[in-house]
Amino acid sequence: MKKHLLAFAVAALAAGGAFAQANDTIAKVKASGVVTMGVRDSSGALSYTLGDGKYAGYHVEICQRILANLEKAAGKKLEVKYQPVTSQNRIPLVQNGTVDIECGSTTNNATRQKDVAFALTTYVEEVRIAVKASSGIDSLAKLNGKNVATTTGTTSVQLLRKHERAAGVDFKEIFGKDHSDSFLLLESGRADAFVMDGQILAGNIATAKNPADYRIVGETISVEPIAIMLRKDDPAFKKLADDTIRDMMKSGEIQKIYDKWFVNPIPPKNTKVGLPVSAATKAAWATPNDKPLEDYLKK
């Protein structure tokens, strides 16, 4: 009996140690020599695939800077693995340790803060509407009776329904499994509009077969803080991530990285997203914070 109890105690201690390490990213990657970055296939210039398992974008590059400092903290060279995530699975994959840092297009809000942590806000998004230029749609009111695409697991259409100018506007939601799928719904005519973060819309339009066929129109539906996602209750890694980002903001490097992805031509087709930095994003850089969406809506 004593042997069984001893074995149980050892197993419990081992499990407890594994759980503790899962919430200590620095210790986890030091032990394994591997760090996993969650990336998106089609989150505009924030995070997108180049094919052949390669990813690029504004948040991907910021995460690479964070991981360079993580290597210093771990005291060793780390193998970086890229794990594609979706709007549906990104939070569970961060929570369960599959992904160590999520470098996509995730809105920081109070509900999500119960499950995960966020680094300092690096981008402030405006939710907008993309339509075909020939559609005649130029406002929320003209979505009445239309099919509106959005991506499963995102908040955009819920925000649209809550918008004061959407009162009495009756539209049908149709869902894409990811942002490229949602844009395809618009491209193929199955949707009359695609509601999403403005830079995601601009990124998908920039890489479309005929970019001139599409427009971003209508009122700004919401302003949302977008941030790199981390595991909750891991203060050491959050500090490392925040310090890296804060240094980039202070030095002005973050502006150069922003322009690289949102203003200048980007691979693979050397197209321009064409979104100069907004006043709201500049304000987030000037006063670094990890405030959730709800704080922005109070203004």
What is the domain-level CATH number for residue 180? 3.40.190.10
pLDDT average, residue stretch 195-222: 91
pLDDT at position 225 is 95
Q: How far is CA 286 from CA 64, 78, 133, 246, 281, in A?
A: 22, 32, 36, 10, 9
Same domain, 80 and 138: no
**Among 86, 203, 220, 202, residue whose Cα is nearest residue 154:** 86
Range of the domain at 49: 26-124+225-297
pLDDT at position 99 is 98
pLDDT at position 33 is 98
Q: Would you say residue 13 lies in a domain?
A: no
Q: Is the pLDDT of residue 129 over 90?
A: yes
pLDDT at position 114 is 97
Q: Is the pLDDT of residue 175 over 90?
A: yes
Amino acid at 122: T
Q: How many domains does the chain have?
A: 2
Cα 65 to Cα 248: distance, rounded to the nearest angstrom: 9
Same domain, 157 and 100: no
Q: Would you say residue 20 lies in a domain?
A: no
CB 244 within 8 A of CB 236: no
Q: Would you say residue 142 lies in a domain?
A: yes
Cα 20 to Cα 6: distance, rounded to the nearest angstrom: 21
Q: Where are the alpha helices (DSSP H) in 23-144?
A: 25-32, 58-74, 90-95, 110-113
Residue that is last in its domain, among 173, 205, 223: 223
Residue that is last in its domain, among 207, 223, 239: 223
Q: Where are the alpha helices (DSSP H) in 127-178?
A: 156-162
Same domain, 145 and 282: no
Q: Would you say residue 95 lies in a domain?
A: yes
Beta 34-39 vs 101-107: how paired, if at all? parallel
Question: What percentage of the chain's residues is helix, strand, coil (to nearest 5)?
Answer: 45, 25, 30
Q: Would you say residue 106 lies in a domain?
A: yes
Cα 202 to Cα 298: distance, rounded to the nearest angstrom: 27
Same domain, 44 and 189: no
pLDDT average, residue stretch 59-75: 98
pLDDT at position 195 is 94
Same domain, 105 and 52: yes
- Rounded to 10 degrees, the C-alpha dihedral 222/292/122/93 comes to -100
pLDDT at position 246 is 98
Q: Where are the alpha helices (DSSP H) in the chain?
A: 2-22, 25-32, 58-74, 90-95, 110-113, 156-162, 179-187, 198-206, 235-251, 253-262, 279-286, 293-297
Same domain, 56 and 146: no
List CB contacts of 28: < 8 A, sequence separation 6 or more.
Answer: 21, 22, 97, 100
What band does 10 get if pLDDT is binned at 50, 70 and 90?
very low
Same domain, 142 and 165: yes
Q: Is the pLDDT of residue 166 over 60?
A: yes
Q: Would you say residue 247 lies in a domain?
A: yes
Tokens for 21, please give them: 């390490």
Q: Would you say residue 198 lies in a domain?
A: yes
Among 81-90, 255-264, 288-297, name the one with the lowest average pLDDT: 288-297
Same domain, 136 and 278: no
Same domain, 211 and 90: no
Q: Is the pLDDT of residue 5 over 80?
A: no
Residue that is last in its domain, among 167, 193, 223: 223
Residue with tokens 């549906």: 88
pLDDT at position 22 is 58
Same domain, 120 and 30: yes
Cα 249 to Cα 90: distance, rounded to the nearest angstrom: 26
Q: Is the pLDDT of residue 16 over 50?
A: no
CB 23 within 8 A of CB 35: no
Same domain, 240 and 102: yes
Same domain, 107 and 233: yes
Tokens for 115, please give them: 């499950």
pLDDT at position 15 is 42
pLDDT at position 299 is 56
Return mean pLDDT, the chain: 90
What band does 154 get if pLDDT is binned at 50, 70 and 90?
confident
CB 107 within 8 A of CB 125: yes
CB 40 within 8 A of CB 182: no
pLDDT average, residue stretch 209-216: 94
Q: Is the pLDDT of residue 155 over 90?
A: no
Q: Would you say residue 192 lies in a domain?
A: yes
What band does 297 get if pLDDT is binned at 50, 70 and 90?
confident
